[in-house]
Amino acid sequence: MSKPEILFYLSVFLLITGLLIVFTKKNAIVILMGIELILNAANLNLVAFNYNRPELDGQLMALFIILVAVCEAAVGIAILLKMYHYYRTTIPDHISELKEKW
């Protein structure tokens, strides 16, 4: 197996793991970690597509996605801290202020 092929398989594994985490977990912090895994899978794909080429297009795009992921993590953690400060929970299902009361 060639090196890019191994990177593709690892990327698929990271993508599936991230999607399973996002769809099955209830804690908001764990959901953010699943989103980070999905972004890392996209980064790994960009690097693998540009593995043996002299251009740096894939690596530059991966660097851009890393910067976006860092910003997303900072904003997400800030929102979670505010949510915990106000509601005293990080589980999105327990926040019911906007739900209808029957």
Q: Contact, 96 vs 83, CB < 8 A?
A: no
Q: List the pLDDT tens digit at each of the 102 positions of the chain.
A: 888 899 999 999 999 999 999 999 988 889 989 998 998 898 888 888 887 777 777 778 788 888 888 888 888 889 888 888 888 887 877 777 666 665
**Per-residue confidence (pLDDT) for residue 2, from 0 to 100:** 84
Q: How many domains does the chain have?
A: 1
Query: 18 lies in a domain?
Result: yes
89: domain CATH number? 1.10.287.3510
Contacts of 20 (CB under 8 A, 6+ apart): 34
> For residue 20, is it within any domain?
yes
102: in domain:
no
Alpha-carbon span 68 to 36, nearest angstrom: 10
Q: Would you state the structure tokens that stand for residue 15, as one six-digit string?
A: 């993508």
Instruction: Identify the pLDDT of residue 34.
Output: 93
Domain of 80 in residue numbering reads as 3-94
Instruction: Name the H helices within the chain.
Output: 3-24, 28-49, 57-87
Residue 22: the pLDDT is 94
pLDDT for residue 37: 92
* pLDDT for res 102: 59
CA distance 73 to 50: 26
